[in-house]
Amino acid sequence: MADQGDTGEAITILLVEDDAPTCWRLQDALKKAGYDARTAGSLGEARSALAGGAPRVLLTDLRLPDGHGVELIREVRRRFPETEIMVISALGDEESVISAITVGATGYLLKDAFPTDIATTVRDLVAGHSPISASIARFIVRRTQNSAEPPPGPVLNTAKLTPREIDILWGIAKGFSYAEIAGHLGLSRQTVPGHIKNIYRKLEVHTRSEAVFEAVQQGLIKL
Amino acid sequence: MSEIAAKAVVSPRRLRLARFLPYLLLQILIVIVTMLGLRLLEPRDPDNFAVSEFSLREAGSTRQVTLPHFTASRYSLADPPLYSGKFVFKSDSTNRIDANTTWSVFLPRFSNGVEIAVNGVALLDSRRDPSANRPDRNTPEIAVIPASLLREGSNDITVRLFVWGPLRGFLDTVYVGPDDALRPAYETRTLLFVTLPVVFSAWQSILAVILAIMWLMRRHEPVYGVLAAAMVLGVVQAFLTLPVPPATSSRLAGVLLSSAPLESALIVASAVLFLGWRWPRYGVLLFVPGLIVIAGGLIAGPPLPRILFMLLGIPTVGFCLVLMAGIAAHAALRRQDVVSFALGCAATIVLTCWAHDMLSVFEIMPNERTFVSRLSYSALLIAIGAGLTWRFARALNQVDSFAGQLVARVREAEERLKASFVREEARARAAALANERTRLMRDLHDGLGGQLISIVALSERGQEGAPITDAARAALKDLRLVIDSMDDIGGDLMLALGSWRERAAMQLRPHDIALDWRVATPQGLPLHPELRPWHVIQIVRILDEAVTNAVKHAAARHIIVTIETRDDGQGPYGVISVADDGRGFALGDEGEAAGVNHTARGLRNMRSRATRCGAVLDLNSDTSGTEVRLQLPKVFPDSDVAAG
């Protein structure tokens, strides 16, 4: 049952979560699925863990005792471009997920997800399939519509999205499955997850100063 | 390419030609009608009493002549041509009640002045009558012959004809007879040639006043000023009395004589301006003849101004008339409007009359000297007055329609403003809600949410924690629902159902229940702009309750959610149905589930939620499964329809 990387070794995961019970719970689920999951309870611990080498997957909470998860995501994204990054969110709300996406995360994991779902999500992510929820998709597509005044919540630049990608997001927001979306849009079912990863990549803010500016704007970082 | 260009050039020309022919035919018709009219209007004289055989003593020689007769042109009033004739008076007392029938002598037309004597006694000197001294007015004269002068049988009549050049003198047939017989002809001529010109001059003076006021109020439109000047000239010319030539005030006469060419030049100028064209610089030349006549009148005494008038003034008037006709024709063909047509026709009438006068001046039309130009000029005056009125009325209409448009536009703008205000209000409300939601979400994420997660994590570690886990998960689920439903979904219920599908799937996965999601069309449900968060919560909770029942009490393996839009002709509405393949439950009276208390309460809750947002809930349950069918309203109610 163990998922294997290309080298045949277990996939390495760095789990950054300050709430001990949640941390154990997630680690348990990942270990049971055969992943090599190490944990860190703070930004500092995470950085020292990263000194030992890049994990294949980074799972991080946003609120950490000594800093903000956004900083960590940004750092990892820059230093280890190969690492897949997911944000752990209590509610899966767009506030946390979108701000993580804009600095380089390509997915989110609910803290109360069932163990099997946790394993599946990580496996899909490594396979290049980014998870997206209806509410996140809704948030993004509604940003592509309203142009009169910046709506509340994280700043999001949707200008790069193609009409097809926006159509896919609409489908997800309305609860259609990938297969149904592919059917409506005349796509092959396998290409939809790739589109979603592209969407995440297009929403990423690429300069550091931009990212910091936006994080400050959103109140995620206090200077 | 060149063919197309050629066509493009030819077609307007053809069009103009097609318009020109009917216009020309119309003008020819007007000429004919005018000439016929002149014939018809020519007054009938009582031919029974004509006296036309006279002996004329002129310049020392005597000869027999027959009236009407032209004499040579003269510049002196001394020793005028003397016409002597005889007529027979019969006091036909047997046939008449009044033996003393009054007899008169009637001169229908003469130029320029006459002195009539019967039996050596002078009866009338026309030079005393100012209007009779004007050669352009065909003033008739009548004089009653005192009964005492008349002799039974042959009587003598002499007419002295005063002539001042350059026109030749003219004496029409003289009529002598009973006053009753002569008077009507005289009255007719007076009406036509004396009264009517006065009426028209009055009309012209009114026009002058109106135009002057117009020009004073609208200085930027010189057309009114020019036209007013023309009218003033005409009025002055008509009402100032012309002195008898030997008088010393001959300079004034010169000035007055020059008014006609000036007036016609002004009329042409105003026509050009009226039609909105530019008055060319060389147009000033048109005023030169008139000014020369004035100069001649001021510098030299008579008869130079009169000669100048003949040589320059009258041709200028004719030239102006031709110009006027040309301008009006051009405008009429170009614009096809009433004013241009009216001006064109009037110009044709005046031109015809001018030609008629020229023919009689050059004696091409024999035995006649009736000048009608001045009279026909009234046609042009009427056309100008009508044109001005028409233009004024049209301007008023334009103002009206502009005002109407303005009102409509203001109303439109007002409505747009109102709509945008409503929109703005809705937007502001949505923004406030979104802000509040963001704040709440942060709070819940960091506080309550995290704590619930911890409870889930902790309770999962112990064996007895399962109920706590379930409770905590349910709390988390509800928390997500509340947050989710606060989001502005723009009236698209599908967006809320999309999130609900995810939560329901997550809930069903541990129980191994498959969620079959069937949406009839990609749009799914109709849009409801009036949809509010509390509607969404009620609907999603009904669906949650249906799924929870299927999981907890029916032991179902499949749940099928069907979403479709129906339309029974009165607007579309949505139907959501949640069906399971569980064992169902027995429904008691009024569709209430019997037996299990919890289920009954759940069903009651579902019904009341449906009622509150205007939806209709249908419940069917048997041993093969349960179907909860929620028929959404066409329009969601503003406030709670009924308290739950």
Print the SS3 string covering B544-569: HHHHHHHHHCCCCCEEEEEEEEEECC
Angle between helices B338-361 and B2-41 (to 10 degrees): 50
A142 within domain boundaries: yes
A201 within domain boundaries: yes
For the question of an ipTM over 0.85, the answer is no
Which of A186-200, B214-228, B293-307 is least confident? B293-307
Q: What is the mean pLDDT of chain B?
A: 82
Q: What is the pLDDT of residue A149?
A: 54
> Any idea how long chain A is?
223
Domain B48-188's class?
Answer: mainly beta
DSSP B310: I
Same domain for A125 and A86, yes or no, is yes
Q: What is the mean pLDDT of residues B422-430?
A: 84
Domain boundary among A131, A148, A164: A131
Looking at beta carbons, which residues of chain A come within 8 Å of B498? 134-135, 137-138, 172-176
pLDDT digits (tens, 9 = 90+) for B465-508: 777 887 888 888 888 888 777 777 778 888 888 888 888 888 88
Here the CATH number for the domain that contains residue A184 is: 1.10.10.10
Q: What is the pLDDT of residue B6?
A: 45
Contacts of residue B175, Cβ cutoff 8 Å, sequence gap at least 6: B45, B46, B49, B50, B51, B105, B106, B107, B108, B182, B185
DSSP A152: S
Q: Which of B467, B482, B497, B471 is nearest to B577 (CA)?
A: B497
Angle at CA of residue A13, ends A192 and A138, nearest 5° = 35
Here the CATH number for the domain that contains residue A60 is: 3.40.50.2300
Q: What is the pLDDT of residue B17?
A: 77
- A56 is in which domain, residue-wise? 12-131
The Cα-based distances of A160 to A136, A170, A203, B16, B639 in angstroms read: 17, 16, 8, 60, 41
Match 């799972």 to its residue by tokens.
A59
Q: Which of B488, B502, B493 is nearest to B574 (CA)?
A: B493
Q: Is B363 left (phi over 0), alpha (psi -120 to 50) or beta?
A: left
CA dist., res. A118 & res. B267, Å (int): 100
Torsion angle, CA of B286/B290/B296/B301, rounded to 10 degrees? 160
Looking at beta carbons, which residues of chain A come within 8 Å of B423? none
Q: N- to C-terminal Cα distance for chain A? A: 46
A2 within domain boundaries: no
- Residue A24 and residue B457: Cβ atoms within 8 Å? yes
Q: What is the pLDDT of residue B12?
A: 66
User: For a pLDDT cut of 70, what percent of chain B falls above it?
Assistant: 89
Same domain for A79 and A159, yes or no, is no
A147 within domain boundaries: yes
Angle between helices A94-103 and A69-79 (to 10 degrees): 30
- Given the candidates 1.10.490, 2.60.120, 1.20.1070, 3.30.70, the CATH classification of the domain at B199-404 is 1.20.1070
A215 within domain boundaries: no
Same domain for A180 and A112, yes or no, is no
Same domain for A83 and A186, yes or no, is no
Q: What is the mean pLDDT of residues B406-415?
A: 92
Q: What is the pLDDT of residue A1?
A: 41
Assess whether pLDDT exceeds 80 at residue B405: yes
Same domain for A159 and A56, yes or no, is no
Q: If contacts are CB pairs under 8 Å, which of residues 491-520 in chain B contact chain A?
A: 492, 494-495, 497-502, 506, 509-510, 517, 519
Of the partner residues A21, A134, A152, the one whose CB lies closest to the CB of residue B457: A21
Same domain for A116 and A152, yes or no, is no
CA dist., res. A134 & res. B258, Å (int): 97
Q: What is the pLDDT of residue A131?
A: 81
Assess whether pLDDT exceeds 90 at residue A58: yes
pLDDT digits (tens, 9 = 90+) for B112-162: 888 999 888 888 888 887 777 777 788 899 998 888 888 888 888 999 888
A218 within domain boundaries: no
Same domain for A16 and A126, yes or no, is yes
Strand order across the beta sheet in which B69-70 lies: B69-70, B170-171, B110-111
DSSP B205: H
Q: If contacts are CB pairs under 8 Å, which of residues 419-478 in chain B contact chain A?
A: 427, 431, 434-435, 438, 441-442, 444-446, 449-450, 452-454, 456-458, 460-461, 472-473, 476
Same domain for A149 and A196, yes or no, is yes
> Any idea how long chain B is?
644
Of residues A130 and B326, more confidently modeled: B326
DSSP B514: E
Same domain for A83 and A182, yes or no, is no
Match 């027959």 to its residue by tokens.
B66
Q: Give A25→chain B minimum CA distance, Å.
A: 6
Please state the domain extents for chain B. Answer: 48-188, 199-404, 489-644
Of residues B160 and B461, more confidently modeled: B160
- Residue B461 and residue A89: Cβ atoms within 8 Å? no
Assess whether pLDDT exceeds 70 at residue B180: yes
Which of A58-67, A135-144, A201-210 is least confident? A201-210
pLDDT digits (tens, 9 = 90+) for B281-293: 888 888 888 888 8
Torsion angle, CA of B261/B266/B268/B272, rounded to 10 degrees? 160
Same domain for A112 and A29, yes or no, is yes
CA dist., res. B613 & res. B559, Å (int): 24
Mutate to test the interface with B, among A15, A93, A184 (most CBs of B within 10 A): A93
Q: Is B77 on the interface with A (CB under 8 A)?
A: no
Assess whether pLDDT exceeds 90 at residue B87: no
Domain B489-644's class?
Answer: alpha beta
- Cβ distance B178 to B101 under 8 Å? yes
The Cα-based distances of A126 to A39, A57, A102 in angstroms read: 19, 8, 19
Domain boundary among A87, A109, A131: A131
Contacts of residue B98, Cβ cutoff 8 Å, sequence gap at least 6: none
A221 within domain boundaries: no
Q: What is the pLDDT of residue B459?
A: 81
pLDDT digits (tens, 9 = 90+) for B26-54: 899 999 998 888 888 777 788 888 888 88
CA dist., res. B479 & res. B444, Å (int): 8
Contacts of residue A102, Cβ cutoff 8 Å, sequence gap at least 6: A154, A155, A156, A203, A204, A205, A211, A214
Match 């070794």 to its residue by tokens.
A9
User: Exposed e or buried b for every residue in A205-221, given b needs 16+ CB within 10 A?
Assistant: beeeeebbebbeebebb
Same domain for A64 and A113, yes or no, is yes
DSSP B445: I
Assess whether pLDDT exceeds 60 at residue B96: no
Match 């002499």 to its residue by tokens.
B158
CA dist., res. B567 & res. A182, Å (int): 28
Assess whether pLDDT exceeds 50 at residue A200: yes
Q: What is the mean pLDDT of residues B160-176?
A: 84
Q: What is the pLDDT of residue A16?
A: 93
Q: What is the mean pLDDT of residues A13-27?
A: 89
How many structural domains are present in chain A? Answer: 2
Which of A75-79, A151-155, B334-338 is least confident? A151-155
Q: N- to C-terminal Cα distance for chain B? A: 81
Domain boundary among A105, A131, A157: A131
Q: What is the pLDDT of residue B7?
A: 46
Assess whether pLDDT exceeds 90 at residue B376: no
